[in-house]
Each structure stands twice: as C-alpha cells, then as structure tokens.
Structure 1
Amino acid sequence: MALNAKQTQQQRLMLAPNVTLALEVLRMPLMELQAFLESQCEENPLLELDEELAEEQRDEPLEETSKDAREHPEDEEWPAGQRTLSETEDPENDDVAEDDRRLERQTAAPISLRESLLMQWGCQPGSPEDRSLGELLIHQLDEIGYLEGSLEEAAVHAGVELAHAEWVLKLIQRLDPPGVGARDLRECLMAQLEQAGEEQTLAYRIVASHFPLFVQQRVPQLAKATGSSAAEVTQACERLKRLNPKPGRAFAGNLPPAIVPDLLIKRGERHDDVELNDQELPQIRISRSYYRMLRDPNTAADVKEFLATKFRQAGWLIRAVGDRQATLLAIGRCLISLQRDFLEHGPKALKPLTQAQVASLVGRHPSTVSRAIAGKTIDTPCGVFRLEQLFATNLPQNGHAEQVSDAQIKSAIQQLIDEEDPRRPLSDAQLVRHLTQRQLSVARRTIAKYRAQLSILPAHLRKRRL
C-alpha cells in the first residue's frame, strides 16, 4: 500500500487564547488562583504584584541613608541583614532566643506516619535484610496505615520466603499506632487486640472466626456460633467498635488542609450581604517600567515583539480575574437572596433552586454558572458550604402545590433516624410512611438513595440490643 500526502481544508471551532484563559480562571478556587497568579507574575515581566511594590517602597533607603553609606563605605562589607554587635542585644540573650526559635520550629513541624514508623523501626533489633524489608513495607503503607502493596512481591523483591515476610510484617504491626501495617480491617482489629493482650477474649474470637457476622451485626447468630449469651456478644461488639479502624489518621501530618472560603457573609442589621474573600488574593497590575520600554521607540524590534506578546497576555489575565470576581460575587448574592432562610435555619430550609434559574437572574449562561461554582465555598453562620450545596432539587408532591427540596427530605430522614428506637430501627418502608404523615411524598428507592448519601446504614445494621 502506497503512502500519499495530500492537503485538505477543514473548518474547526476553536477557542481563542483569551477565552480559554478566562474559562480556566473562572474555574479556579481561591487558593489555586492565588498560586496561579504568583506563577504568572514570575513568568510574565509585564505583570507585577502591588504588595511587592509596597514592600519595595518601604524598603527603599532614604536620601540621608544613601549619603551615610557613601560617607562610610566600610559598612557595605557587612552581609545584607547582618548587624554589628552594637546594634544587637546581649549575645547571651541571642543564644536563648535562637534556642527558642529552634524549639518552635521543632514543635511546629508535624511528623507523618511514615516518618514515625521509620524512626521506631530503626530502634528495633534485626539483620540488615530485615531492616531493608521493613522499610520497604513501611513505604507501601497508605495514609490510614494499611498495606497497599503485595506482601508476596515484597518478599520476592527482598529475596526472602513469604513466611519470613509475614514475620517482619507482624513486627511492624507491633509499632505505634496499634493496628498499623494491616492488610484489611479484620487484621487491623486483631492487631490492636493482640497489642492490648486480649487474644483470649470473646471479641478476638469474633473477629478471628466470625468477622462477616460482626459486620452484619448478627447478634443471635454470633451468640449461637460462639456459645455465648446475647449480652456477652453485645458487650464484645461494643469493645470492637471502640477500636480505631484507621490508625494512620491520628497523625497531624495527614490532616487535610484548612478550607479557605471564596465568599463571606457579612451580617447586617437589616439585610445580609456577600463579599469576596480576596485578602489573600494577589493584586496584579501592568509593570510601568516594562510598559515604558514597550512604548520607547529606541527599544529593539525583537524586544518590542516579546513585550507586546506579554502585554496582551497580561491584559487577558487581568480581565479574566476581574470577570471571575464579578461573576462569583453576582452568583453569591443571588444565592443568598433566594436562600435567605438557609442562613437562619441551615440546610433543612433550602428551597428548590436550579443553576438555570440563577443563570437567568444574573445574566450568565448556565454553563458559566456551573463552572463558576465548581469547587468554590462560602462561609455562612451555619458553617462553610460548597456553593453547589445551596442548590436543591424540586421533588413533586402528590396533591400539594408547595415545593419541597431534596435537602428538606434529607433533613427529615436524618431527624427520624436520630429519634428512632435503637432496638427497632426504621426500615426504608417505615420511613416512607412517616414522611407521608408529614405531607412529604417520597418513593422508597429515593429514601434508600438519600440514606446512602447521608452515610446512614440500613435498618438491620443500625439495630442495637440494649
């Protein structure tokens, strides 16, 4: 088959670079936008941060200072930021202050699960081969302390038998926190009980031999299988529930970062308003020095071409940030004006609201609203919420003209389950009947879906024997 080269003409719809940039900036949450603007200021010489200008103005030496420097040139031999002894305090106090600063740095730095385990493992006796295999297994633990990799592959990689690798893993499981290094939840609970010296207890027998029945909360079957009373089985199950299923989460280094909201609620005497949380957002502007170089007729042609390209890109970015802020503020104010009851009573007071309705009110396309609220949060009197959570689906009610949102249904389900008898939890069908008595018409499959979204177990798993 011969290869032929030919030319064809095609029409394609492509977005201009400034439009692509505007859509990308609109999508970014606050912290991501902050990092993006800082990186753009480093790459584009036509962009500069206003805060940097303010610092430069504060750090600029006065005329008298410059004159002093010319009269005493020997002062220039000192490195920047270094002071002479006459300008400092007592050197003994400096030593104490340095110790305090060192201690502050040590206490402020969080330690990760892997670092803690490696330090403990380094204090354990053993051969170099065992130490190497243990370090390999520790590096294969996930953030909650479970072994992600295959023990068989680790044994092959270390050149040892699988039984020896099992023995090394058992040593790791004796480290702190208890239960770390397990391959599943069952092994994690067993390791914690072994470390507590409870191998001969009923709780350990249940986990070791009847774990599926424990997960399903089958107390009568567990009592029959273990030859114990229902009260003893219930007490053993309560002991197991007090164990930590995710031992690695106890470390500060694994905590998620704090959420920085994009919008803030400003409470007023007569009405509430929405503000942009732009205090941490860099304020960018066109660099005057490079702009003068661009307008200078004596500037070389290739330099002018480069500066002109960067000038266009800087203008696109500044306009994109302005459009993002205006769009986000308009959407936030629209949401709060329509969901005013939410500020007083929480999510249960959310009214049915769609993105298309908000788009029509703020004069934007629904896709623009969808992109603008993605990943954005708002700080309200009820806590920090994603903007997506302020939208609610309308559930039609048989014979009722009043609109009911899915958030109201979820709140009613949560209230019913909180008030149920733990010995006789409500099934999905019973929840349907209770909601019908409240003039809320919901199908059973919808109840099951909302219950799963609320992380609520089925009735047979919520059952408790008191």
Structure 2
Amino acid sequence: MKMDFSLNLAQEQKLIMTQQMQLSVKLLQMSSYDLQEYIENEFQENPILEMDYENKKEYETQDKINYKELVKYLEFDNYGSQSYKNYDEHEEVSPFNFIANEKSLKEYLYEQVSELNESNYIKTLCEYTIESLDSKGYLSLPSEYIAKELKIDIDVFEKVLKIIQNFEPDGIGARSLKECLKIQMRKKHMLDDNMCKIIDNHLEDLSENRYQNIAKSLNITVKEAQICGDSIKTLEPKPSSGFFTGEEVKYVSPDAYIRKVDGKYIIEMNENLIPRLSINSLYKNILNDEKDKVATEFVKDKINSAIFLIKSIEQRKSTVYRVIEKIIELQYDYFEFGKEYLKPMTLREIAESLNMHESTISRAIKDKYIYTNKGTIKIKDLFITGVYSLNQGEDISVFNIKREIKRLIEEEDKKKPISDQIICEKLSENGMNISRRTVAKYREELQIKSSNKRKRF
C-alpha cells in the first residue's frame, strides 16, 4: 500500500461566533432573574464596573463619564455611537411586601393539639405522629412501626391516630386513599354500606364512570350508583392541599408594562429589574499613565468587557422592546377585547417583519413577561398556531377552536353526549377543518373526558 503526504488548499466559508457575539446571544435569552445573577457575578470580577439599584436619580446631578473619551483609549471604536440614557422612573411598591407568613399544615395541626383536653403525654404522642405525616397528609408508616418506635401499646397509638383523624382538614392522618375518603364521608354523615363498598371495591370503576358495573355489584340502580359517585368525587384525595408546603413561591416580575394612553398602547420597560451599570471614573487616570503598561492593559481589558456588557444589555432591551411593539401591532384586538380575540401568530411572522432571524425572536421572548390590563402574561403564550377557515378566509386560533369544543360539550344532552366525530363535523360546518384525532387531543388538553365517561343517567 502506497502512503504519501501532500498539501492541499481548500476555500470554505464558516461562521465563527466571537466571545462577544456569544455573550450577546446568551444575555438575550436570559430571564430577568438570570440576568441579575450574571450582572452580580460580573460586578464581583470586574473592578471597573459600578452598580446601583437605588440611587438612580443621582445620575442627573453627579458627573457623568464621557464614554466617547474612554473608548479612544481602547483598541476598538465601535462603541462611540452607543447612547446611555438616564431614566427617572417612579418606584412601584409591590403588594406582595405586605403578605403575612403562610401557615403550614403541621403548624395548623399543632394549634389543634394545643387545644386538646388531653394529658401532656397524649399531646406529645400526637405531635410525634404529626411529624410522621408525609407531604400529602397521609401516615405512610405502618402503625406497628411507630408504636414500636415510641415503645407504646398499639391500642394507645390507635387512640392517638383517631384523635388526629378528627382534626381539620378532613382526611388528615389517613393511612390510605380509601381510609382518607371514608374519614371525609363519615364527617359528612354520609358513610353508608353502599359508599363503603364503592370506596373499597370500585374506585377504578368510579374514575372511568362505569356506573353499570357498580350498580350491578351493589344491586342498585345506575342512577343511585351515579349519585353515590358524585358525592365521592367531591372529596379531597390530598388533605394537605391548600396549605403552605415550605417552598417559596417566586413571583414574576414583568420585563415591560403595556399601558393604554390616549387610545394608544405604550411600552414601558421595567428599569427596576436590573441595576444601572456604569464605569468607575477613578480608573480613568490609569489610562493616562504611560509608565505602568501592565496596569494600563489590565484597565483597558476590563473597560472593554464593561462597555460591551452595558452595550449588550441595552441591545437586549432594544430587541425585546421591538418584539413587544410588533406583537402589540399584530395582536391589537387581544389587548383591546380579550383572549378570545387572540390571533394565530408565529415566530417567523415576527422575524420577517423585523428583519431578524427566528432564533433571535425565540431568545428574545424566552422567559419574558409583560404586564397588561389582562394581568401579567408570558410573551410566549401569545404565539399560537391556527387553522385556516374557509368560511372566514383567515386562520382561526387554537384557543377559539378549543372554546368552541368546550361550548359544544357544555350544550350537549348529558344523557347522550356527543362523540368526537360529531364535534369534528360540527366544527367543519363552522369552517374549522380539523380531524377527529385533533378534536380528541384538544378535548384532553381541556381535561374533558370522552363521551362514554361524560354520560349521565
């Protein structure tokens, strides 16, 4: 086999992203919370950067750094045209600052223990048992195990458990779903033989609305089985539901406010999300010191990073602003009249109108929120697909199709629920041409059961 070496020249095109380009892309897709963290880290690493959250109005009176003067010392000159504006925004006080601490389930149960007319010994056993409850409010450990651990008789523990099961919320301290449901029915004085048998043997039939099976097994009418089933379905399978679990709820801060002024929608970017960045003027003198070359190069490098960070943040804000502005233009009816007027809108449509790439639009709306007269909404939720309507000559949003499916089901004869095929045919009559499989998909997304499970007797 012959082996040799040779040199060949080949010409090819490649797109190479510089570190600065990668940073711009990274900052654009960050949520406001992630951006805050990133800026905090940069502030720790770059002594040139100055950061201010509160004293924003002082920028009007203090000496400002001449960025154009600074950049002439650097090896690049493409930042001179960048403008840095000062904003005078009135700080809004969040109502969440006045929310009291939420009460956990265990705290609620401890309060009920303190009100018991029992000995301290029994109260201590109750508190220990409360600590053994899981996140759903169930006692998942075997009674024998806890009694052995406490070195008490099983009868004593059963007495303690019975006390806890009489506490609120109903169903607390149950050892299984069946026991949880029975406790709740007993407190409502509705636990009879039929209810017990349904809970013990027919929960799966109940979940599938197979009332014929239940009626046949209990020797009762289908209607009677359905009445029992309706009562059981009102119960809470998770007693801890609604109580504070210990996990902090993160409240969303909008990236922009959409306000209607004189008949027009105005975009007001939320300037309080991130600190105002500037460059420490003390380092300006080092640039003029020609003796210490190392210090000068260090400062140049840090100023380079700082100015590019400030520029990237401004560019991020500008891109998000332009995207929101275009969304308001395309979804004007939504902001005026509500969700039912939401039109189909895609990333490509926005990208083409703004002369940007789809990936840029996708990054610009990722984890971004806006405050509107409809509440705080995720920008991404405004991008929905549609189905072309022959009757109307335009696309109909999936939201409106789902709303029509929901309306048809709400108006159906509950004794003879309409099938997905009939829904499909009725939608086609209104110009909504979708398949039966798509109807089933949308119905499931609406958490509506199939026709055989919706039937009432």
Q: What CA distance in whole angstroms lies between the structure 2 residues aligned with 1:386 and 1:423?
A: 40
- Among 357, 361, 364, the alignment partner of 1:365 is 357
- Cα 1:54–1:441, aligned 2, differ >3 Å: closer, same or farther? closer
CA distance in 1, matches of 2:291, 2:450: 74
Shift in Å, 1:217: 1.9
Report deviation, 1:155: 5.3
Cα shift readout 1:395-453 (whole Å, capped 9, x = no counterpart): 24579853333233222212222333333332211211211221221100001111122
**Secondary structure of the residue that 1:250 maps to in structure 2?**
coil
Structure 1: state its 5+ residue gaps: 1-11, 58-104
The alpha-carbon deviation at position 387 of structure 1 amounts to 1.8
- The answer as to 2:420 corresponding to 1:436 is no
Report the CA distance shift for 1:38/1:176 in structure 2 as closer, same or farther (over 3 A): farther
Given the alignment, which residue of 251, 255, 258 partners 1:262?
255
> Pick from 10, 19, 22: which aligns with 1:20?
22
| 2:243 corresponds to 1:241 | no
Q: Percent identity?
A: 29
1:29: which partner in 2? 31
Q: CA deviation at 1:366?
A: 0.6
Measure the CA separation in 2 of the matches of 1:238 and 1:51. 55
| CA deviation map 1:123-149 (0-9, x unaligned) | 8976999789746633x42xxx266x9
Gaps of 5+ in 2: 1-13, 60-96
Equivalent residue number for residue 341 of structure 1: 333
- What amino acid maps onto 2:336 in structure 1? E
Aligned residue for 1:378, secondary structure, equals strand
Corresponding residue to 1:220 among 212, 218, 221: 212
Matches within 5 A, 1:362-441: 362-396=354-388, 401-441=393-433
Secondary structure at the aligned position of 2:132 is classed as helix
Q: Deviations over 1:332-377 (max 9, x none)?
A: 1111211222223433323332211211111221111112212222
Q: Deviations over 1:76-106 (max 9, x none)?
A: xxxxxxxxxxxxxxxxxxxxxxxxxxxxx99
* CA distance, structure 2, for counterparts of residue 14 and residue 190 of structure 1: 67
How do 1:449-460 residues align onto structure 2 when only pairs under 5 Å count? 449-460=441-452
Amino acid at match of 1:251: F
Separation (CA, whole Å) in 1 of partners of 2:412 and 2:454:
10
Match of 2:132 in 1: 137
Are 1:294 and 1:308, in contact at CA under 8 Å, matched by a contact in 2?
no
Q: Distance in 2 between matches of 1:314 and 1:423?
A: 70
Partner SS state of residue 422, structure 1: coil
Whether the 8 Å contact between 2:171 and 2:181 is mirrored in structure 1 is yes
SS of residue in 1 equivalent to 2:185? helix
Secondary structure in structure 2 of the residue aligned to 1:49 = strand
What SS does the aligned partner of 2:432 have? coil
Aligned partners of 2:172 and 2:293: how far apart in 1?
A: 65
Relative to its length, the structure with more helix (as a share) is 1
2:456 is aligned with 1:464: yes
CA contact (8 A) 2:279 2:303 kept: no
Out of 274, 291, 298, the position equivalent to 2:267 is: 274
- Counterparts in 2 of 1:363 and 1:193: CA distance versus 1, 3 Å: same
* 8 A Cα contact 2:387 2:432, kept in partner: no
Of 316, 327, 350, the match for 1:324: 316
CA contact (8 A) 2:257 2:371 kept: yes
Query: How far does residue 296 in structure 1 lie from its aligned partner after superposition?
Result: 5.8
Distance 1:376 1:107, change over 3 A: closer
The alignment partner of 2:370 has SS state of strand
Read off the aligned partner of 1:318 and give its amino acid letter. I
Q: Is the 8 A contact 2:255 2:273 kept in 1?
A: no
Asked if 2 retains the 8 angstrom alpha-carbon contact of 1:394 and 1:404, the reply is: yes
- Write out aligned runs for 1:148-297 (5 A): 151=141, 175-180=167-172, 185-194=177-186, 198-200=190-192, 202-252=194-244, 256-276=249-269, 278-292=270-284, 294-295=286-287, 297=289
Say if 1:128 and 1:339 are closer, same or farther in 2 by CA, change over 3 A: closer
CA contact (8 A) 1:189 1:243 kept: yes
**C-alpha separation in 1, matches of 2:386 and 2:393:** 12
Most deviating of 450-459 and 250-259: 250-259
Amino acid at match of 2:265: D
Q: What letter corresponds to residue 263 of structure 1 in structure 2?
A: A
Which amino acid in 2 is paired with 1:271? K
Aligned partners of 1:44 and 1:310 also within 8 Å: yes
The 3 A distance-change label for structure 1 pair 438 and 332 is same
